[in-house]
């Protein structure tokens, strides 16, 4: 599968401008014969808790509708982030649409970032989401989820790769890089991290750090176009690697539960 990761320099809470930027990348990715393009968390706004301004009604979400339109126009699958209204709070979600604009999967962030009081504005998700596209199973996660290995252990059992879309600040980017690699090694699977760049409305800086790691913890080589990286990912690598050196079969989940 040919996959593009976009380290989008998100314009703060400006959906129209960000959508235009995204279309430029989608158009280029389509010309490069990319199968799937992935954008950062809260794609069209940046990470904001201003839910009254940025949240959308799910059934009429302009963000979802526009990405569905673009997927059909450019014949490409798209994974993006969006904020959806949920009673008096909101949901931080990632959405996967295929190249025909069909929604194949929706994931709600299970771990709101309490350090920045995300939990005061966003309700937590309570289930995994795994999408199958072109015969490859892809698990969805968002940002702070990366710090919780149990989630990746569960997700990797059902998938060939796990994707994390994020707004992960530069001051903790070493954590980001380390955790992406660790999750790939401990679960012997592809782990994809897509992080934004630039500076947000809270003056937080971000560093280009979107990457793919394989089951051995190796960072994959890629081509590039502006702030977009393009990869050829061979899903068979994981199966071949596990057949030669399998550690996940030695897990003892029942004992772990008893210890806890």
Q: Which two tokens stand for residue 158?
A: 């059902």
Domain ranges of the chain: 2-259
Q: Under a CB-based contact definition with an 8 Å cutoff, are residues 91 and 64 in contact?
A: no
Band of pLDDT at residue 257, cut at 50, 70 and 90: confident
pLDDT at 260: 75
CA distance 75 to 71: 5
Band of pLDDT at residue 226, cut at 50, 70 and 90: confident
User: What mean pLDDT is predicted for residues 215-241?
Assistant: 95
Q: 227 or 66: which carries more pLDDT confidence?
A: 66
In the numeric block, the tokens 């990348």 are attached to 25
Burial of 182 (0-12, 13-18, 19+ CB in 10 A): middle
pLDDT at 253: 87
User: What mean pLDDT is predicted for residues 231-235?
Assistant: 95
pLDDT at 220: 98
Sign of dihedral through CA atoms 42, 48, 50, 51? positive
For 144-200, how does the pLDDT look when each residue is reduced to its tens digit (9 = 90+)?
999 999 999 999 999 999 999 999 999 999 999 999 999 999 999 999 999 999 999
Three-state DSSP at 100 gives coil
Is 2-259 a CATH 3.60.110.10 domain?
yes
| Sheet of strand 190-195, all strands in order from the earlier edge strand to the far edge | 130-133, 136-142, 161-166, 190-195, 211-213
For strands 77-86 and 228-232, give the pairing.
unpaired
């Amino acid at each position: 599968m040919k996959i593009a990761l976009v380290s989008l320099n998100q314009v703060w809470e400006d959906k129209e401008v960000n959508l235009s930027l995204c279309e430029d990348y989608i158009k280029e990715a389509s010309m490069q014969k990319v199968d799937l393009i992935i954008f950062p968390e809260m794609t069209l706004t940046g990470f904001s808790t201003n839910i009254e301004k940025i949240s959308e009604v799910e059934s009429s979400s302009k963000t979802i509708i526009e990405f569905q339109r673009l997927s059909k126009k450019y014949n490409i699958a798209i994974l993006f982030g969006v904020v959806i209204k949920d009673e008096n709070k909101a949901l931080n979600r990632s959405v996967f649409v295929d190249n025909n604009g069909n929604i194949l999967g929706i994931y709600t962030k299970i771990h709101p970032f309490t350090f920045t009081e995300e939990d005061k504005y966003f309700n937590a998700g309570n289930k995994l989401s795994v999408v199958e596209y072109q015969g490859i199973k892809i698990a969805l996660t968002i940002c702070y989820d990366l710090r919780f290995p149990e989630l990746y252990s569960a997700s990797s059992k059902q998938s060939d790769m796990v994707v994390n879309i994020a707004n992960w600040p530069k001051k903790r980017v070493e954590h980001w890089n380390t955790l992406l690699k660790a999750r790939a090694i401990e679960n012997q699977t592809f782990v994809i991290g897509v992080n934004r760049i630039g500076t947000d409305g809270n003056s937080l800086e971000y560093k280009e750090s979107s990457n793919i790691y394989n089951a051995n913890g190796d960072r994959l080589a890629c081509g590039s176009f502006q702030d977009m990286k393009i990869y050829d990912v061979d899903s068979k690598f994981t199966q071949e690697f596990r057949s030669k050196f399998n550690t996940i079969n030695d897990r003892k989940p029942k004992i772990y539960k008893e210890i806890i």
